[in-house]
Structure 1
Amino acid sequence: MRASNKPDSNSQSVMGIPHFLAIPFPIPGHINPLMQFTQVLAKYGCKITFLSSDENYHKLKSAGGEHGRVLESHSHIKLVSLPDGVDPEDDRKDQAKVISTTINTMRAKLPKLIEDVNALDIDNNISCIIVTKNMGWALEVGHQLGIKGALFWPASATSLASFNSIQRLIDDGTIDSKNGLPIRKQEIQLSSNLPLMEAAAMPWYCLDNAFFFLHMKQEMQNLNLAERWLCNTTFDLEAGAFSTSPKLLPIGPLMANEHNMCSLSQEDITCLEWMDQQPPQSVIYVSFGTMVTMKSNQFKELALGLDLLRRPFLWVVRKDNGIVVNYAYPDEFRGSQGKIVGWAPQKKILSHPAIACFISHCGWNSTMEGVYNGVPFLCWPFCSDQFMNKKYICDVWKVGLAFQRGGNGLILREEIKNKVDQLLDDEEIKGTSLKLMEMIIKNKAQGDGNLSKFINCAKE
């Protein structure tokens, strides 16, 4: 076990202060939001031990790294690590490999780590374990040790409701018990007050991966050991989802509580200076998150589509997240009106007055950050819960449009130009985006109240 941030010798343990052990699945889409959440808990006076994989520990603590500076500023947060068993030469995009190896490696070592952490502070032992998806095994370990558990879900409450409905959908004859694929062509309604969705919008369907479906079927049994399922969302955003389980608790929007911006990747802050030079509501922001990769012919169409716009654009072409991405720009690509960066400080970009719209993969973190800032969307989902989020953005909230694929399966350059032009001329979508932003900001008081209730329960 590696540890940092040694306890301050001048501080004294306070009885009744909850001590959370936070354990994210070792990918940025889980680490970043859980780290953001623990910073909020720290501001409430809670103590947090944040467990990461050895590889991510070194990234978090790297010299001059933004995460390192943020963590050092919180005396209530301590970093520890365990190996996740994934070899350096392994492909971390292979989710089945990472999930299986992490469970097999970390599970055996967790009880000893808990013992060691508790020995360092006998007056304030770990009182609650918080995990993200794929780490439900840690709740089982905690249950055996008599430690409370909670789930911090890094996606929408509706996607969690869908995973929790797997067994019922099997029993109803809606999906196959071996792979989750639909038995017959039909739309799925998870509850009477949730929207009808195509089977392809279910977060396990588009992966076409029997391993992931069966893993999540088992994972839900572990996650049901949690006393609460905490979601970075608001009740009004997904009201129907919260009727599906009393465990679900909206604690968002977390962005409203965050002053420190965190990213595992090195952010190119020169893009903020570039944004400052652009007219209000003029910049097309393009980013597909930390995991998505794009085929070379689709990359070409996107590049040439951005050229056709003849508008300023900020395009994130990922370089530094540990995944090798070799994109070749087409010879005819000019890009003269845009700026391309390896990674961007997204929360600051989306709150900038120059932002016009967001071309997004519709990951939940990006979705929440966009709607919180009243930014209209152009939806380009790839996998998992992204299709479900697109359904909400386009059909439920009505704050965006979706790209349509051509006969060759590609989103063509002309479609990119036409949809951007259509969105930027749509005053109704712009107005609805601002109304949704206002609603989410008003929901903050309820989210803060739910968070306080959760912390108080963890004290007991």
Structure 2
Amino acid sequence: SAMVHVVIVSFPAPGHINPTLQFAKVLLQRGIQITFGTTVQAQAYIASSTTTDGISFATVSDGFDSEADVNNSEPHYPRRYERYGSASLAELIRSLTASGHPVDCVAFNFLLPWAARVAHEHGIPSALIWPQPVSVLALYYHYLFTCPESFADLSKEIQLPCLPPLVTEDLPSFFLPGNTHPHAIPMLREMFDNIHENKCGWAFTNSFDALEEDVIASLREHKINATGIGPLIPSLTPKTIKQAVKEAGKKEEIACNGAHEKPAISNDQNAASEEKKPEPSEQDNKPKKSELVEWLDAKPAGSVVYVSFGSIADVKSLQIDELAAGLMGIDHPFVWVIRPPADYPGFPAGFEDVVEKRGMVVRWCAQVEVLNHPAVGGFVTHSGWNSTLEGLVSGKPMVCVPQWSDQATNAKIVSHKWKTGLRGRKNDKGVIEREEFKRCVGLLMGEESGKEMRENAAKYKELAKLAIQEGGSSDLNIKAFIEALQPQPAVAAAPPPPPVEEHKERTME
């Protein structure tokens, strides 16, 4: 398997990079040579956020290689990336081949259907890495191919195979009249067309069979061979790419108590101070707990509410005020990950006193570590798929407050199919108000009201573990992929048959 070389190309946004890079690490651990291609800015983000030993990085250009501040959420960015990235990927494939490292497969994620086309033009198989649940993949497929008429009147309930009944507020934002990303649906169509035309040989999903077995089976009836390889839990910290580029060469403190951020320390300062330090003792070599983990260690099991709306969610000042007031109104200790906008005037009066008594406010944290801490009993989330999957794998019930894209559908599945959480209702300004926040947290954390959600969350936690263990469904699916890429041994020509001796019958005298 050491001879197999996979090029993985990622759209340069954290929600795309995280599972894609985790898949790269999984393949690397199984002896596959990995080249990870993305933009210059995304490479800076990765380098500042995680270890990537053994993975080679290459630029798949978006035409902004020399610029630090690139808005990849701008509506026309994906088509620009297609224009520059197609040529850049083709050149990368040719360069790797010329240097003695031919490519056996190109894997790519959502918004990069052109990567399959480039791979096909070079006679190389390709694999889609779908970064959302299989249920959302199925929803897009039905919208585009099997029953577009079901979506003609969004005021009516939509019934689709293996999904709960859907209404307008449950649909991806790309379906709605106010959609600000017109590129998404055409690119989804191209993605499915690549599969139909056999330009893309695999459709990997960051999910696992036991979680969405019925949806996987229904898609296979339409020749969409959705294959679970998850959970791919990201090891990256939730910085934005813009932050990572700005902070290149700096080290930032992770947690801060209250509303204050600790100052950054430059690498030069660190190097100077390290020269004066004596040789580390055995005690010094032990991993040090963060301030946040030490704070959690002091809290009773299942008592803490963890609140985070993701790495790039644009949280309005009004929403920050309502969340702060809601946290003041609950009895539970809490951790809140929040990065207020530059013009935010400050938290409501009395909030910092509450934080001092029973709260921790941080700009970012190691979310997987926090969710897996026994003190955390519930998760208030924006329902991005990475966060939703981390909540499931950690066995934590959720209050879902979706913002855009697939998040509303994820929230519906969590609350109505898996029943591991409930959805918070927003007002006409798109804000979950303090009283609704308190109602949802009360139900989630209640001994009786939250019992079924906690039991279901614990069930899926165990099923997720089984999927990635030796012989689990995701483990077997990854092994099958690697085996398909292995060079097939040449079949030796069969030796010629021995000459047939003439049979002579003995004559009886």
CA deviation map 1:420-447 (0-9, x unaligned): 1121112222222212222332333111
Instruction: Report 1:146-157 matches (<5 A).
Output: 146-157=123-134
Displacement of 1:211 in angstroms is 3.5
CA contact (8 A) 1:18 1:127 kept: yes
Q: How many residues align?
A: 419
Between stretches 264-273 and 330-339, larger displacement belongs to: 264-273
Match of 1:329 in 2: 346
Instruction: Report 1:75-224 matches (<5 A).
Output: 77-86=55-64, 88=68, 90-94=70-74, 96-120=75-99, 122=100, 124-168=101-145, 172-175=148-151, 182-183=152-153, 185-191=155-161, 193-203=162-172, 204-206=174-176, 208-209=179-180, 210-222=182-194, 224=196
CA contact (8 A) 1:93 1:291 kept: no
What secondary structure sits across from 1:357 in the alignment? strand
CA deviation map 1:352-408 (0-9, x unaligned): 111110000111111111111110100000111111111111010111111122465
Match of 2:458 in 1: 434
Instruction: Report 1:59-458 matches (<5 A).
Output: 59-61=45-47, 65-67=48-50, 70-72=51-53, 74=54, 77-86=55-64, 88=68, 90-94=70-74, 96-120=75-99, 122=100, 124-168=101-145, 172-175=148-151, 182-183=152-153, 185-191=155-161, 193-203=162-172, 204-206=174-176, 208-209=179-180, 210-222=182-194, 224=196, 225-242=199-216, 243-245=218-220, 246-255=224-233, 261-263=235-237, 265=239, 267-268=254-255, 269-318=290-339, 326-332=343-349, 333-334=351-352, 335-336=355-356, 337-406=358-427, 409-425=430-446, 426-444=450-468, 445-458=472-485
Report the residue type matching 2:28 in the other structure.
Answer: A
Report the residue type matching 2:393 in the other structure.
Answer: Y
Q: Structure 2: how far apart are the matches of 1:197 and 1:222?
A: 28
Q: Structure 1: how far apart are the matches of 2:183 and 2:418?
A: 33
CA contact (8 A) 2:238 2:365 kept: no
Q: Structure 2: how far apart are the matches of 1:325 and 1:156?
A: 34
Gaps in structure 2 of 5+ consecutive residues = 240-251, 256-289, 488-509
Match of 1:6 in 2: none
Displacement of 1:217 in angstroms is 2.6
Gaps in structure 1 of 5+ consecutive residues = 1-13, 176-181
Q: Structure 2: how far apart are the matches of 1:60 and 1:369?
A: 19
CA deviation map 1:247-278 (0-9, x unaligned): 210112234xx8xx333636544322222222
CA contact (8 A) 1:82 1:109 kept: yes
Report the residue type matching 1:358 in the other structure.
Answer: F
What secondary structure sits across from 2:336 in the alignment? strand
CA contact (8 A) 1:137 1:222 kept: no
How large is the Cα RMSD of the aligned pairs?
2.2
Match of 1:26 in 2: 12
Report the residue type matching 1:290 in the other structure.
Answer: S
What secondary structure sits across from 1:286 in the alignment? strand
Report the residue type matching 1:28 in the other structure.
Answer: P
What secondary structure sits across from 1:71 in the alignment? coil
Report the residue type matching 1:80 in the other structure.
Answer: A
What secondary structure sits across from 1:130 in the alignment? strand
CA contact (8 A) 1:159 1:202 kept: no
Displacement of 1:286 in angstroms is 0.8
Q: Structure 2: how far apart are the matches of 1:199 and 1:383?
A: 13
Identity across the alignment (%): 30
1:56 aligns with 2:42: yes
CA contact (8 A) 1:308 1:417 kept: yes
TM-score, normalised with respect to structure 1: 0.85
What secondary structure sits across from 1:238 in the alignment? helix
What secondary structure sits across from 2:329 in the alignment? helix
Displacement of 1:20 in angstroms is 0.6
Q: How has the CA–CA distance of structure 1 residues 449 and 49 changed in structure 2, closer, same or farther, with 3 Å as cutoff?
A: same
Displacement of 1:348 in angstroms is 0.7
Q: Structure 2: how far apart are the matches of 1:417 and 1:376?
A: 15
Q: Structure 2: how far apart are the matches of 1:234 and 1:114?
A: 31
CA deviation map 1:33-73 (0-9, x unaligned): 11111101011111100012011222333xxx342xx212x
What secondary structure sits across from 1:174 in the alignment? helix
CA contact (8 A) 1:163 1:220 kept: no
CA contact (8 A) 2:46 2:236 kept: no
CA contact (8 A) 1:38 1:48 kept: yes
Q: Structure 2: how far apart are the matches of 1:172 and 1:66?
A: 41
CA contact (8 A) 1:362 1:390 kept: yes
Report the residue type matching 1:248 in the other structure.
Answer: A
Higher radius of gyration, 1 or 2: 2
Between stretches 126-135 and 214-223, larger displacement belongs to: 214-223
Q: Structure 2: how far apart are the matches of 1:241 and 1:300?
A: 39
Report the residue type matching 1:196 in the other structure.
Answer: P
Match of 1:10 in 2: none
Match of 2:275 in 1: none
Displacement of 1:30 in angstroms is 0.7
